[in-house]
Amino acid sequence: MSKNLSELSGRKGLDKNLFEELGRVAAATGTPSLEDLDKIRDEFLMGKSNVYGSVSFYDFLRPENQGKKVYVCNGSACRTAGTQEALTAKLRKHFSTQEIGEMCCLGRCHENSAFHTMGHNYSGRDADNLDTILEKKGTTAEKYQVGNTGTPVLTAPYGPVDTYYSVFREALKKDPLQLLAELKDSGLRGRGGAGFPMAFKLESCRNASDPLKFIVCNADEGDPGAYSDRYIMEERPHALLMGMLLAGYITGARYGVVYIRGEYPESVETINAAIEALQALKLLGENIDGSGFSFDFKVIKAQGAYICGEETALLSSIEGQRPEVRVRPPYPTQQGLFNKPTVVNNVETLANLPYILQYGGNAYAAIGTARSTGTKLISLDGHFNKPGIYEADMGTPLRKVIDDCGGGFRVPVKAMHIGGPLGGLVPVSCIDQLTIDFDSFAREGFLLGHASVVCIPEEYPLIDYLEHLFRFTAHESCGKCFPCRIGSTRGYEMIEKARNSDYKLDRTLLNDLLETLESGSLCALGGGLPLPVKNALKYFEAELNPYFSKP
């Protein structure tokens, strides 16, 4: 991260955004020409290397992306479902091999066979309908369950938009500090994975002296298996937008940026439409409702890089810098977007704010457990009988979610990967020890994370899954810190070799590598990978033993 580049990018404000410009000039062929890059870097007063370096980072901007017409999902759920080979065979009838690329998780984990073409996502049986789709006559037939067990905070319908925003209009009449106090009372913790108390962030940003501040929504739901943020953006967009408005009012921020992953084109459309609706209601712009509070939104569509879900990488991405993880301090609330105080929160976290400010912090805190208040959305993949998005009070037994919500497993399952690729690998034998909350998972040596559930069927070899995890990390590593940059690739190479040849894994070496990644990495990507690997080694020792050299 470069302070100079942050500053130079920030000079243009959000109207002309460097990252968007790079995407704009890449649109025609899949990657920008050097001539276009030169014009852009001149306008932004940057070096050629800066824009070239940024472009080369993203799956959908780099030169290798040129000419790609369809992208096959290679996320964990589609992989364990085993649907993608058949899908690719179908696509080959319409596309050449060079025209077929990959995307990592389109959030269609509930019905798999997911692919992306012409700016839209498809899944399930859509591939059987390719002719119509390619003629732009058909849309996706996607369908998933939405339900809840407990209090419907996020899944409850919010009725007419204008009426819904009375929460915000009322809030504007109150002192932001009063709202902040409610938020503190609610005990709301970030839903992106780290579980950081949200009120702290807002308070820290509020206390920063800079007149220009930002609220950034991390809608880069990159964890394969998770699609609950997508659900909110597409089905409850105003809960998110109002959450951002409220966070803006509390901190004194002027702009809200929604950074949505490129793999979710439909989310971009619904959020944009929702912002237009807000404009029509005059809930945006200068001096909203005569309150003196001004706020505007900017939607940024990402370009394919898992690491952008890490908050500091995300900020660099918006700035058009290479999205490499930054050191902390400074924290984003001190020096975030364009070096200005910034709150970065996940979609689900922000979407909780309207409820908290409508019913009060204490009402919210009454839901869930003492240390994990409120509810949590859970994404269930296609291995369940009733895959979909379910809302559960924090503290709900995992068994209840699996059986009551998901209707149990569709096929025999040996483990569930919960909380994304960096979450724990939960063997079915541990299900009854877990409840849906941060502490229970941590105590048992797992991670609630974003609460996505990807099942590993009985017959799916765990060594394949471990190889997938290492390859995923190696592919998505930003390349900044040494342990993750080199370690994820070396780990992948070792496991690939053990899987495909008579090479045997050296247990000490693998343990050293896992320890190095875990305690040495700069962020949760390298740092988190060892958790599911260690779970696998612990709970599936017998299955994995043949791949190790004898002690």
Partner 1 sequence: MGKTAYINDKLYSLQEGETILNFVRRHYGKDFVPTLCDAPNLDPYGACRVCSVDVALVKDGPAKAQASCHTPVMPGSYIYTDSERIQRLRRNIVELVLTDHPLDCLTCEVNNNCELQTVAARVGIRDVRYPAGKNHLHYEKDKSHPYMTSDFSKCINCARCVRACDEVQGELVLSMAGRGFDSHIIKSFNNTFFESDCVSCGACAQACPTSAISDVFESKSVVADKKVRTICTYCGVGCNLEVAVVNGKVKSIQAPYDAEVNQGHTCLKGRFAFSFYNHPDRLRTPQIRRNGKLEPATWDEAYDYIAGRLSDIKARFGPDAIAGISSARCTNEENYLMQKFIRAVIGTNNIDACARVCHSPTALGMQRAFGTGAATNSIVDLKYTDCIMVIGANPTDAHPVTGAKLKQFAMKGKPTIVIDPRRTELARYATHHLQLRPGTNVAMMNMLLYYIITEGLEAKEFIEQRTEGYESFKEQILKLKMEELERITGVDRHLARAAAIDYAKAPNAMSFHGLGVTEHSQGSYTVMLISDLAMITGNIGRRGVGVNPLRGQNNVQGAADMGCQPHQGAGYLNSYDPEINRMYEEFYKVKIPMGKGLKIPEMYDASIEGKLKAMWLMGEDLVQTDPNTNLVVKAMQSLDLLVVQEIFHTETCNYAHVVLPASSFLEKDGTFTNGERRIQKVQAVVEPLEGTKPDGQIMADIMNRMGYPQGDYRADTLLQEISGIVPFFAGVSWENLGDNGKQWPVLADGSDTEILHTESFKRGKGLFHYFDWKETEEIVKNGREYPYIITTNRELEHYNAGTMTRRTGNVKILTEDVLMIHPADAEKHFIEEGDMVCVESPRGKVDIKARITDEVKPGVLSTTFHFPEVLLNIITSSERDSEAMCPEYKVVAVNIRKSKGKYKVKA
Provide, rounded to whole angstroms, the least separation between the CB of residue 285 and partner 1. Answer: 25
Residue 279: count other Cβ atoms within 10 Å of its Cβ: 13
Distance CA 259, CA 107 (A): 16
- Note whether 37 binds partner 1 by CB under 8 A: yes
Long-range contacts of 137-143 (CB under 8 A, 24+ apart): 142/108, 142/111, 143/111
Q: Which member of 12, 30, 39, 45 binds partner 1 (CB under 8 A)?
A: 45
Q: Which member of 238, 322, 414, 417 binds partner 1 (CB under 8 A)?
A: 322
Q: How far is CA 358 from CA 171, 188, 352, 355, 370, in A?
A: 9, 14, 10, 5, 21
Provide, rounded to whole angstroms, the least separation between the CB of residue 347 and partner 1. Answer: 24
Provide, rounded to whole angstroms, the least separation between the CB of residue 107 and partner 1. Answer: 22
Q: Which member of 13, 27, 28, 53 binds partner 1 (CB under 8 A)?
A: 53
Residue 220 belongs to what H/E stretch?
Answer: none
- Note whether 10 binds partner 1 by CB under 8 A: yes
Instruction: List the interface residues with partner 1, window 483-512 (CB under 8 A).
Output: 483, 485-490, 493-494, 497, 503, 506, 509, 512
Of 42 and 128, nearer to partner 1 (C-beta) is 42
The answer for residues whose C-beta is within 8 angstroms of residue 13's C-beta and 6 or more apart is none
Locate tokens 């994820």: which residue?
488
Q: Which member of 521, 528, 540, 547 binds partner 1 (CB under 8 A)?
A: 521
Distance CA 220, CA 222 (A): 5
Distance CA 73, CA 219 (A): 19
- Note whether 328 binds partner 1 by CB under 8 A: yes
Distance CA 350, CA 84 (A): 34
100 and 91 Cβ atoms separated by less than 8 Å:
yes
Count of residues touching partner 1 (by CB under 8 A):
59
Q: Which member of 477, 531, 533, 547 binds partner 1 (CB under 8 A)?
A: 477
Binding mask 300-319 for partner 1 (x = CB under 8 A): -----x-x------------
Distance CA 247, CA 240 (A): 10
Q: Which member of 106, 199, 258, 513 binds partner 1 (CB under 8 A)?
A: 513
Q: How far is CA 500 from CA 60, 369, 494, 506, in A?
A: 30, 46, 10, 16
Q: Which member of 4, 139, 207, 429 binds partner 1 (CB under 8 A)?
A: 4
Crossing angle of the two packed helices 482-500 and 462-476, in degrees rounded to 10: 150
Of 404 and 439, nearer to partner 1 (C-beta) is 439
Residue 19: count other Cβ atoms within 10 Å of its Cβ: 23
Q: Which member of 25, 40, 57, 425 binds partner 1 (CB under 8 A)?
A: 57
Distance CA 134, CA 129 (A): 9
- Note whether 49 binds partner 1 by CB under 8 A: yes
- Among the residue ranges 262-270, 368-376, 429-437, 475-483, the one whose residues contact partner 1 (CB under 8 A): 475-483
Provide, rounded to whole angstroms, the least separation between the CB of residue 293 and partner 1. Answer: 26
Of 386 and 485, nearer to partner 1 (C-beta) is 485
Provide, rounded to whole angstroms, the least separation between the CB of residue 2 and partner 1. Answer: 5
Distance CA 451, CA 214 (A): 27
DSSP-based three-state secondary structure for 418? strand
- Note whether 8 binds partner 1 by CB under 8 A: yes
- Note whether 333 binds partner 1 by CB under 8 A: no
- Among the residue ranges 6-14, 130-138, 272-280, 462-470, the one whose residues contact partner 1 (CB under 8 A): 6-14
- DSSP structural state of residue 174: S
Provide, rounded to whole angstroms, the least separation between the CB of residue 324 and partner 1. Answer: 8
Residue 10: count other Cβ atoms within 10 Å of its Cβ: 17
Distance CA 125, CA 132 (A): 13
Q: Which residues bind partner 1 (CB under 8 A)?
A: 2-5, 7-8, 10-11, 34, 37-38, 45-50, 52-53, 56-57, 62, 305, 307, 322, 324, 327-329, 474-483, 485-490, 493-494, 497, 503, 506, 509, 512-513, 515-516, 519-522
